[in-house]
A = this chain, B = another copy of it.
């Protein structure tokens, strides 16, 4: 057991993989000499040298594409996107090039590339630096997408992602970077955990399916609640663990999805759809889809605070619904129109 910040756990995962495999390299803006805008890669250049930990110009298409080419030819590049929102200038290289390469080459080429990026709202970075943006990546066959919920998850997911033969996006909720956790770091020897959910808490009354920074919110909501719940930390949004979700919902008969993004194109839709198509008639109550309103992430603390789900809000929504009433969203109380 040790106490690790999420960013330290990621750093450890990168270092352990670089130690284990000389083909693992890291590149990104200011990740080397400066150790990264969020200090995730601190010390890696000193330890592994400037050839394996590289600073790049501000050329996301250029360096993401370079990573694709390097990955085709034996390297295992880990690319940092300082804010995942920046992928908007470079998406093509990942989804249109990298994701199709193994398919097009009939398996003769693979692209074992990891794109890791800080993501998510809650820190006052405003509407262009607060996206989770998993929907840009999901829906691309050939690409895998995960989101980190804590230090143990981060460590395991990054090591597995690096060992995966395919391009993998790992979203790192920025707000968790400095959060500490007591962890036993798992032993990771392959990518078999890619796609697997983890049950973060067990209970009987309902199943909360969530991911990323919302996992902590869900766990916090359990404390002092009059009900108990399975909390499923999806970890992987593509492929996602249908079996784990179905098994839990079969047992609890109630489903709540908790997302940190508005509903359109969110992963919650796919989870609710799978349950609806596969567990018809087995639910005791309407499923709930909980998340922020469909607006750009507002900057002001006064507004961003109202935007994201919190433990209290989640608890309130669940309690209203357990009483058989349809809950109203916290962000749209009387007088405030959505």
Does A325 count as interface, using CB distance less than 8 angstroms?
A: no
Which of B103, B135, B289 sits near A296, CB closer than 8 Å? Answer: B103
Shortest C-beta distance, A30 to chain B (Å), equals 20
Confirm or deny: A88 has a beta carbon within 8 angstroms of a beta carbon on chain B.
Answer: yes
Is A136 an interface position by the 8 A CB rule?
yes
A301 within 8 A of B: no
CA A135 to CA B24, docked complex, whole Å: 31
A interface size (C-beta, 8 A): 49
Asked if residues A88 and B99 are in contact (CB atoms below 8 Å), the reply is no
Q: Give A225 to B219 CA distance when docked, in angstroms.
A: 50
A99 to B138, CA, bound (A): 21
Q: Which residues of B contact A296 (CB under 8 A)?
A: 99-100, 103-104, 141-142
What does the 1/0 interface line of A264-296 toward B look like (CB < 8 Å)? 111111101101111011010111110000111
CB neighbours (8 Å) of A207 from chain B are none
Query: Please, which residues of chain B bring their CB within 8 A of the CB of A280?
Result: 283, 285-287
Q: Which of B266, B272, B277 contacts A277 (CB 8 A)?
A: B272
Known: A263-B270, A286-B280. Contact between A295 and B141, CB under 8 A? yes
CB distance from A49 to the nearest CB of B (A): 33
A residues 134-183 touching B (CB-CB < 8 Å):
135-136, 138-139, 141-142
| Contacting residues, chain B, for A100 (C-beta < 8 A) | 127-128, 296
Residues of B near A139 (CB, < 8 A) are 135, 261-262, 264-266
Q: With both chains docked as a complex, state the minimum distance between the C-beta of A122 and any C-beta of chain B, in angstroms.
A: 17
**Counting CB contacts under 8 A, is A61 at the interface?**
yes
Is A204 in the interface zone, CB < 8 Å from B?
no
* Set of chain B residues within 8 Å of A138, measured between Cβ atoms: 135, 264-265
> With the chains together, A135 CA to B272 CA distance in Å?
17
Q: Is A85 an interface residue (CB 8 A)?
A: yes
A-B complex: 10 closest residue pairs judged by Cβ atoms: A269-B269, A88-B92, A139-B265, A280-B286, A272-B273, A276-B276, A138-B265, A269-B270, A269-B273, A135-B139
What are 6 of the A-B contact pairs (CB < 8 Å)?
A100-B127, A135-B136, A135-B265, A269-B269, A276-B286, A280-B287
Chain A interface (Cβ < 8 Å from any Cβ of B): 61, 85-86, 88-89, 91-92, 95-96, 99-100, 103-104, 127-128, 135-136, 138-139, 141-142, 238, 261-270, 272-273, 275-278, 280-281, 283, 285-289, 294-296
